[in-house]
Amino acid sequence: MSGEVAIVTGGTGALGQAISTALLEAGTIVAIPYAVPEERAALESRLTPDQRARIHALPADVTDEAAVVKFVQTARDRFGRVDALVNVVGGFAGGDLVSTPLGEWERMMKLNLTSVVITCRAVLPGMIAARSGRIVNIASRAVVPPQGGFIAYTVSKAAVITLTQALAQEVKPHQVTVNAVLPSTMDTPANRRAMPDADRSGWVRTQDVASVVAFLLSDRAAAVSGAAIPV
């Protein structure tokens, strides 16, 4: 993907940093709408000067359609193209159907599903016009099959898988691929804090998830679309 332009939402978070770094190492220009300045600083601190020069990072709320459209346009204005999109932004909430407040349902849907809809809508016209593009959405292995106990999260992430599969069919004639990656529990600082006594031996490294994402964005995966790949 050397010289290509990829937008990575959540590209400064734990998984996002691994994905951004993998793409930068492959020579990609990475555009990141971010929310936490400290996370951006942490990402840039681990990069080489050349890699830092290939980052286009601006504050933007990916649940705000106007903000996303503006961000995508700034990337296109600067680089002339957007070749790929990786939707990493998301959130988690526990709770069963009765105990989960409606506001938490709405938050899960907004973070996990609406953000994906908004960003896909923003990049697809350009990809369709170019007859080329790659989209990868991060869902969750925990929702296949659907699980209770964190039902708002389950439904929102399962919806991301369904959206991925339906959208893949819609854009197939335009040479745009859409796939989902389904990580199981990842070894991140947040998960370590949330589950301090858990056995982490089976947790997934963020770098391994990033490798699958990078493959799906590459020319080697040109014939893969509509897949939901567990990691």
Residues annotated as catalytic are 153
* Strand ranges (E), the chain: 5-9, 29-34, 55-59, 84-87, 133-138, 176-182, 228-230
Calpha distance 25→127 (Å, rounded): 23
Count each helix (H run) and each strand (E run) in the chain, helices first. 9, 7
Judged by DSSP in three states, 186 sits in strand
Place of tokens 């990493």: 88
CA angle 205, 30, 182 (to 5 degrees): 35
Length of the chain: 231
Q: How far apart are the first and last CA of the chain?
A: 22
What is the DSSP code string of 193-228?
HH-TTS-GGGPBPHHHHHHHHHHHHSGGGTT--S-E
Q: Are 135 and 178 in contact (CB under 8 A)?
A: yes
